[in-house]
Chain A
Amino acid sequence: MSRSDATQHPNPKSSDQISASAVVSDPSSFGTGFGRTMAIARNAFREAVRDRVLYNLVLFVLLLIAGAIFLGELSAGQEAKIIVDLGLSAMLLFGAFIAIFVGVGLVYKEIERRTLYAILSKPIGRGQFLLGKYLGLCLTLLINVLVMGIGVSLALIYVRRGWDPLALQIWPAIFLIYFELMIITAVALLFSSFSTPALSALLTFFVFIIGHFSADLKSLATTGNSAAARLVFRTLYYLLPNLNNFSVITPAAHGTTPSSSAFALVTVYMLVYVGVLLAAATLIFSRRNFK
């Protein structure tokens, strides 16, 4: 679809470019469309690891250790709840920052370093390239979230001096945080497909904020003064991602887990929304002229 748009350029030998070249020239991983996408994803993951994105885990672990040691004295017996609130909120915050700041650079860095031309000169579509980049960052976030989740569970066991059912009950909330991060990553990728990293980061951050104000949008959609305003707010409510669907940190701290049907519905919502965002990103990216 878009290979005709790609322009081949000389391939200077920076470390990232060597890696990109290695991926695109690996015939085994380029056998099928899926294999090609996965090769890009693996490369995006390696690049994130090389960029020391996972170093945030060190900060997270220090935060949890400090929380587990000091919260007992400050919280009057509520340390388990506060460990969950602190751990899962930090997980969402750190994850959102990674999704936004790494996500907006996924495409831009390839363009700036001109490695994109080398990749697109191979038998790979622009959509596959975007999907691969997206999956690579999602894999990074998954590992991040899993390690953080294990950290929170261990901190809970530590503060309770033994097994606490909350250590298991928080996992549905952890997966919902991950789903939210997948949407934020897709939003960042969409903006970065046509905008600069700074503007993309700003716009993605706004979407993150507005996504948590969806209850207010819905309220404005019913109480607005004019029919036009109500229509605008209703449209925004349905079109913007409703990130409140994924916010179950507070109930999780009380040991409340979402029902399986609610979890399934939210999962489908995430998959559909991510699908729409990636399709839009592909549409825009395939029309870009890199000459």
Chain B
Amino acid sequence: MKKNALLVSAIVVGLVAVTLLSRTIDARRANNAGQFAEEPLYVSAPTAKRLSLAFNGLASDWYWMRSLQYVGGKIVNYEDTHEGNLDFGNLANLNLGLLPQLLQVCTALDPQFMAPYEYGAMILPELDSEHAIALLNFGIAQNPSAWRLYHHLGYIYWQRKDYLKASEVYAVGGKLPGAPTWMAAMGARLKGEGGSRDSAREMYRHLFETTTDEAIKSMVAKQIIRLNSLDERDAVRSILIDFKTRSGRCALSWREVSEPLRAARLNLDGMTGAPIDPSGVPYELIKNGCDVGLNMNTKVPLK
């Protein structure tokens, strides 16, 4: 009995000692962590596929989760050091140099895995759209009947402002069996008015509706909010110009233009009468009341 108690104590003390030692070793190693985090992958995509034997699906899942953790970790670091939320347009500041390779290995291991293509189409253009195009072209070669991949490739070309190419991609994807009718319509629209705000809104709406990834949904929703805010600011700006034309001066407060703002069906702040942006923060009068701008506390992304 006494011997057992002694052995149990030895095990508990040993485990505590091992934990403490691990923490000490980790603390010493922490300085080197950044250096190794950005090292290129040792295993190329074809080699990874060969080495994974029958477990390529599982290996692909591992690379997928590693990609998510990689981007997630960078976002957390960025937000910690920049005191705020990351905008979609700031992805380039994250230094996601390893992401193209991670997604490439992930899709090489399981070419039918759609989530990495979608993720790559949304994130990679902010770093280098050539990587995104290469990833999507690989996906289309492996899954020629997947219309969603054409949707994502078209989105990348649209972001590059190559509206003609985007239109072509949507037109081809729209002819695939099972493709929704809006794919062909999108192709036609981009050809005629590729850079318009309405086509951008439609693009983001379809992306929002077709994705199952909550992170991408959130990113796209922010872009829709940005477009709505741009529309609202145009409407407010036109009201302010009207006021200046009628009174010969710019508005001193929102109260002076409350009537036309209400008529334009904008949400107004009960206290100040200021129109409220889609994130729920009042707009500000700028340039001595001649123009409208976003409040510094707004959640509406700048780009």
Contact = CB atoms under 8 A, between A and B. Distances in A.
A23 B206 CA distance: 68
A86 interface: yes
Contacts of A244: 54
Nearest to B211: A77
A112 B194 CA distance: 79
A86 B61 contact: yes
A136 B232 CA distance: 75
B162 interface: no
Contact of B112 (A76, A93, A180, A251): A251
A75 B60 contact: no
Instruction: Determine the interface band of chain B, counting residues with CB < 8 A from chain A.
Output: 20 to 34
A76 B110 contact: no
Given A81-B61, A81-B113, A213-B50, A76 B68 contact: yes
Contact of A77 (B58, B110, B212): B212
Nearest to B114: A254
Contacts of A92: 54-55
B83 interface: no
A44 interface: no
Interface string A220-252: 000000000000000000000001101101110
Contacts of A82: 61, 65
B198 to A, nearest CB: 29
Interface string A66-86: 000000001111100110111
Given A82-B61, A85-B61, A86-B61, A77 B54 contact: no
A209 interface: yes
B57 A89 contact: yes
Interface string B49-79: 0100111111011001100110000000000
A97 to B, nearest CB: 14
B27 interface: no
B57 A76 contact: no
B54 A247 contact: yes
A249 B55 CA distance: 8
Interface centre among A76, A86, A212, A247 (most CB of B within 10 A): A76
A209 B51 CA distance: 9
Interface string A85-111: 110110011000000000000000000
A75 B212 contact: no
20 contacts: A74-B65, A76-B68, A76-B119, A77-B214, A78-B115, A81-B57, A82-B65, A89-B55, A89-B58, A92-B55, A93-B55, A209-B53, A213-B50, A216-B50, A243-B54, A246-B54, A249-B54, A249-B58, A254-B112, A256-B112
* 9 nearest A-B residue pairs (beta carbon): A250-B57, A85-B57, A212-B53, A247-B54, A89-B58, A85-B58, A82-B61, A77-B212, A89-B55
A89 B56 CA distance: 9
Nearest to A85: B57
A249 B57 contact: yes
Main secondary structure of the interface of A (DSSP, over half): helix
Interface centre among B50, B55, B119, B212 (most CB of A within 10 A): B55
B269 interface: no
Nearest to B115: A78
A130 interface: no
Interface string B20-45: 00000000000000000000000000
B147 to A, nearest CB: 16
A253 interface: yes
Contacts of B215: 76
A75 B61 CA distance: 8
A249 B212 CA distance: 23
B66 to A, nearest CB: 10
A251 B113 CA distance: 9
A78 B62 CA distance: 12
Contact of A78 (B50, B53, B56, B64): B64
A253 B57 contact: yes
Interface string B92-124: 000000000000000000101101000100000
A39 B196 CA distance: 79
A78 B56 CA distance: 16
B213 interface: yes
A77 B115 contact: yes
